[in-house]
Amino acid sequence: MKDKDQELLLEKLVVINVGVSGFADSLEQQEVEVIQVDWSPPAGGDEEMIDLLEKLL
């Protein structure tokens, strides 16, 4: 079996775009299947919570 990175060059791209929505827009213009994630920092960026969640979730 080929590595997935090699398959990537042969397959149709299906993209999850996390962050800047313009990147998703330009992919859509190229008729690529893309889903936009309106991302925000985990735990609202609260470091203490992020550390705790790392252990618990």
Partner 1 sequence: MASGFVIRKNQYYDSVFLMGVNKRLSQAEGVLQTAVLMGSDKNKQLLVDIGIGGDEITKANPNDLIVAVIGESAQVVESVLRELDHALHAFEENLSGPRIHSLEDAIAEKPHANLAVLSIPGEYVLREARKALEDGLNLFIFSSNVPIEGELELKELAAEKGLLVMGPDCGTSILGGTGIGFANVVNRGSIGAIGPSGTGLQEFTCQIHNAGYGISHAIGTGSHDLSDEIGGITTLQALEALEANAQTKVITIIAKPPGVATLALLLERIKGCSKPVVGCFLGARMETAEWGDTLAWAPTIDHAVLSAIQHVDEKQELAKLTLTNQERDLATNARASWTPEQRYVRGLFAGGTFCYQSQLILTEASIMTHSNAPLDPKNSLAHPDKSLEHTLIDMGDETYTFGKPHPMIDSTMRSKRILSEGRDPSVAVLLLDFILGYNASMDPVGDLLDAIFEAKQMKQQQGGELTVVASICGTDKDPQELDLQEKLLREAGVIVFHSNAKASLFCCELLKPVQESVS
Partner 2 sequence: MDIKQKIEKANKETVGRLTSGDPVLVDIAPAGEVIPGLEGMMITHSGPPIEWGRMCGAQQGAIIGMVLYEGWAANPDEARAMLEKDKIRLEPNHHHDAVGPMAGTISPTAPVWVVENRAFGNRAFCRQVEGRQQFGEFNEDALDGLRQWRDVWAPTLREALQKMGGLELNPIIIQALQMGDELHNRHSASSSIFANKMAIAISEADIPKERALPTLYYLVGHNLIFLGLAMACGKAITDPASGIEYSTVVTAMARNGTEFGIRVSGLGNEWYTAQAPVVDGLYLPGYSAGDAGLDMGDSAIAETVGWGAFSLGGAPGILTLVGGTPEDALEHTREMRKITTSTHPTYRMPALGFAGTSVGIDIRKVVQTNINPIIDTAIAHKDPGYPIIGAGLVRAPIDCFKGALIAFGQKYNN
- Provide the binding-site residues for partner 2, judged by CB under 8 A: 40-44, 46, 48-49, 52-53, 55-57
Binders in 2-21 for partner 1, by CB under 8 A: 2-20
Cα separation, 45 vs 19, in Å, equals 15
- Kindly state whether residue 48 participates in binding partner 1, applying the rule CB under 8 A: no
**CA atoms within 13 Å, Cβ hemisphere of 14:** 2
Does 36 help bind partner 1 (rule: CB under 8 A)?
A: yes
Which of partner 1, partner 2, none does 15 bind, CB closer than 5 to 8 A by kind? partner 1
Using CB atoms within 10 Å of the CB of residue 43, give its burial: 0 to 12 exposed, 13 to 18 middle, 19+ buried.
middle
